[in-house]
Structure 1
Amino acid sequence: MSASPDRPLVPDWLTVPDDANALAQGVWPDAAHRDDRGELVVGGVSASDLRALYGTPLYVLDEDEVRGRARRARAAFDAAAARHGTTAHVYYAGKAFLSTEVVRWVTSEGLAVDVATGGELAVALAAGADPARLGFHGNNKSVAEIARAIAAGVGSIVIDSEIEVERVAAEAERRGIRQSVRLRVTSGVHAETHDFLATAHEDQKFGIALDRAEAVVARIRALPSLDFGGLHCHIGSQIFGVDGFRESAARLLDVHERLLEGGPVRVLNLGGGFGIAYTSVDRPTPIEELAGAIVDAVAGECARRGIPVPVLAFEPGRAIVGPAGVTLYEVGTVKPVRVSDDLTRVYVSVDGGMSDNARPALYGAQYSARIASRVSDADPALVRVVGKHCESGDIVVDAEYLPGDVAPGDLLAVPATGAYCFSLSSNYNYVLRPPVVAVRGGASRVIVRGETIDDLLAHDVGVHDAAQALRFGKDSE
């Protein structure tokens, strides 16, 4: 992030808004709006009503937005695949946000689910997801996790290393099952937002180098307890555009074509990573455009090689749930900080922070914010929204323009927090994880219970021992 020479505290993409109350289209849930009193309304429920019912901080998830995005993704890939005589499978990438309710939403809209740990698998199964429509990822699946996945009937296990071939095969053989597997490979294409880098090898923990794929697939095919389904590749996150996907697909199909000589290769999984808007200047590629361009590229490469177009699979997560989330905070303090003789930055402190959204601290991620409880005609002021943790890097929104009269007690809303915020949340400084509330049609309900102090203390064995000792002392008197 760079700043303008004449505005050293302001990133060069951020401009003074005409209206510091306006909700940027594409950043907020489609149906979010301000009511006649100027309050933010999400899913038909006002911000102040949500605070009154559940307190703050609060994760708010618009159910209709999640469902609509799931339907839209499935329809886009179905239509693109049908044009080329094949089919597409769309998996919801559970790592973005997972709860039993969200699993039920996306599966009812026709999506399969991708999980990456035994815990995520347990949540998906508890939600009633069809095990045959689950994909199980992970670079270090334990033997116990592999056993649980095979016993549950997981549709596909994505093998991430040569060691894992033997582990999955041994467990499947022990249970008398022929387990369907896919092989994760690194294509040498790594895409981030607008740019992609194509190299011979990738220095990362996931997958097997593409030049080892044929040997590993030969080993998989030699094991009677394994059924090789196809290749899998994931090239990055928060990707705008399709160039990286095109390049990766071409490289994968070189290997896919050679693998066809040894037997069927039913599926090509190109992963996810489709970007969303976090700020007013972000321009994510519409899912219909992505689906059409990626599938067209695969079909073109297949035609050039004279091979059939395989079944295609994709794994959007952030693109489904990210824009559906809004986090509500209450402003605690407002502090002008004089940075230099002629520069002042206003620090707006809220009652959450890096424990409920670690992405700014981890990745320097940019977010937006608006006062949610009212509108104001005060001139816009440059602010930094910060949390309550004992860390100077506890930043929620690095730079934003809010009405200059922002004050303690105001409700502040941060959009595009549906993905990775809850998933990465922590108890740093023993701050409680907030509840997750679903909103739809003017009603709200808790879908993940917020933590209490009792929850925190319940994990501390010393608290239990002290209570036992106190009771023993009283009993002996």
Structure 2
Amino acid sequence: MFVSNNLAVNEKGHLTFGGLDTVDLAVQYGTPLYLIDEDMVRDHCRQYKQSIEEYYDGKGLVCYASKALSCKEIYRIMKSEGCGVDTVSIGEIYTSLSAGFPARDMVFHGNNKTEEALSFALEHGVGRIVVDNLTELKKLNRLAGEAGKKPTILLRVKPGVDAHTHSFIRTGQIDSKFGFAIETGEALEAAVEAAKMEHINLVGAHCHIGSQIFDIDPFKLAAEVMLGYMKDVHEKTGVVLTELNLGGGFGIKYTEEDAPVPYADYMKQISDVVKQKAAEYGLPVPFILIEPGRSIVGPAGITVYTVGTRKEIPNIRNYVSVDGGMCDNPRYALYQSKYDAVLANKADQPKDDVVTIAGECCESGDLLGENVPLQHAESGDILAVLATGAYNYSMSSNYNRNMKPAIVAVSQGESRVIVKRETLDDLIRNDI
């Protein structure tokens, strides 16, 4: 009935999340409200870690892609679960450090890292820096020399694999702002340059072919291409790359149309390719890093709103407006991302209406979905949008001077605030 197994309907006919009544949570904490199921987040981490144990003999690291949802409590959870984290900004590094996350288990990404960010990463001992381009490689070598450091790096490589996903979120093909292309020879050139540098410790390669991918074949092809690249690097430079970061991009179930593959299936089939090609090329099986983000937190989150108005335009559409919108979930405006929705206080009733869910921002494109099946909505109803744990809070904004919602974690039948709701004073805190 629902896109995630932590959702159900109780005896009141209300939607429950992690065993708690979402209507009660909306009353207690206010709306709009992000909810995150901590137990499910931990379970997903453990599934990925188990797959590393099973298919790579434990020689790997699960690095949560924290751009999906970055806050101090998430980093605490990752630390306690023995996961690494993938960071993409000085802000994410700082947040993780402030939560006590060990820098050695961080990976630092980005296509245009500033000197400030690189110096910060060097100062705090970030474990791996994924270098995106030759300009950055030279900059990092200089900064490392000035700081008396020798950072461990991986080169971000574009394997040229089309992941058959939305064009905005495909990152493995040659026409991408990320990484070195194999086809042009620049990826091999980067390895040659890095191998010569005195203040750089080149240990591996990284690729990421896209996001929300349901097909295993592109991942298998990317792994094959990357092992071929590692062979070429060895032949050209004599350097044996001992680490391979295969990125993330594993799809999740947003609606009934989505059919994600079990994580273990991804991991087993990709490991088969890695081991086969390593043996074929006479290379050691590399230490494997993966960077799941959406698949760890996406299904573990929902957002609840209060319905304000209903507007019926005969023979056109019916609008249901809520007390949030693109400022707390911009993904429909950006990608036309589909979500499942349910009226939390009428969850036991049939979805006998089709509506456009509108936000309260002063933008005609401020929508959370069109042609959405829903129970008949009226003012005061509580609307839940499902599978919003990833890229909702992290992409939220104060557009129209709206305040960002709180995040409430649920675990073992209890709830607690992990990110406070913004106040009016927060909105003007930096104004002069």
TM over 0.5, yes or no?
yes
Corresponding residue number in structure 2 for 1:67: 42
Equivalence map 1:146-185=2 (5 Å): 146-185=118-157
Equivalent pair of 1:103/1:129 in contact (CA under 8 Å): yes
Letter in 1 for 2:49: R
Equivalence map 1:111-260=2 (5 Å): 111-193=83-165, 202-210=174-182, 211-260=185-234
1:44 corresponds to which of 10, 19, 22? 19
- Percent identity at matched positions? 42
Q: Distance in 1 between matches of 2:306 and 2:172?
A: 49
Letter in 1 for 2:109: H
How far residue 222 of structure 1 moved from its aligned partner, in angstroms, is 1.3
1:54 aligns with 2:2: no
Q: Distance in 1 between matches of 2:411 and 2:83?
A: 20
Q: Distance in 2 between matches of 1:275 and 1:301?
A: 26
Q: Distance in 1 between matches of 2:351 and 2:107?
A: 51
Q: Distance in 1 between matches of 2:65 and 2:171?
A: 26
Equivalent pair of 1:376/1:403 in contact (CA under 8 Å): no
SS in 2 for 1:458: coil
Over 3 Å counting, the alpha-carbon distance change for 1:376 and 1:42 in structure 2 is closer
How far residue 260 of structure 1 moved from its aligned partner, in angstroms, is 2.3
How far residue 200 of structure 1 moved from its aligned partner, in angstroms, is 11
Equivalent pair of 1:356/1:421 in contact (CA under 8 Å): yes
Equivalence map 1:389-400=2 (5 Å): 389-400=361-372
Deviations 1:378-429 (CA, angstroms, capped at 9, x unpaired): 661111111111112111122221123x211010101110000001101111
* 228-237 vs 42-51, which moves further: 42-51
Equivalent pair of 2:255/2:339 in contact (CA under 8 Å): yes
Q: Distance in 1 between matches of 2:426 and 2:108?
A: 30
Structure 1 residue runs without a partner (length 5+): 1-22, 462-477
Equivalence map 1:326-365=2 (5 Å): 326-338=302-314, 343-365=315-337
Q: Distance in 1 between matches of 2:207 and 2:413?
A: 41
Q: Distance in 2 between matches of 1:375 and 1:359?
A: 24
2:10 corresponds to which of 35, 55, 60? 35
Q: Distance in 2 between matches of 1:272 and 1:350?
A: 33
How far residue 295 of structure 1 moved from its aligned partner, in angstroms, is 1.0
Equivalent pair of 2:249/2:292 in contact (CA under 8 Å): yes
- Normalising by the residue count of structure 1, what TM-score does the alignment of the two structures yield? 0.86
Letter in 2 for 1:115: T
Equivalent pair of 2:157/2:205 in contact (CA under 8 Å): yes
Equivalent pair of 1:62/1:440 in contact (CA under 8 Å): yes
Equivalent pair of 2:35/2:302 in contact (CA under 8 Å): yes
* RMSD over aligned Cα atoms: 2.0
Structure 2 residue runs without a partner (length 5+): none
SS in 1 for 2:164: strand
Corresponding residue number in structure 2 for 1:306: 282
Q: Distance in 2 between matches of 1:201 and 1:444?
A: 43
Equivalent pair of 1:355/1:428 in contact (CA under 8 Å): yes
How far residue 199 of structure 1 moved from its aligned partner, in angstroms, is 12
How far residue 89 of structure 1 moved from its aligned partner, in angstroms, is 1.5
Deviations 1:430-456 (CA, angstroms, capped at 9, x unpaired): 111111111112221111111111111
How far residue 33 of structure 1 moved from its aligned partner, in angstroms, is 1.5
How far residue 223 of structure 1 moved from its aligned partner, in angstroms, is 1.4
How far residue 171 of structure 1 moved from its aligned partner, in angstroms, is 1.6
1:381 aligns with 2:366: no
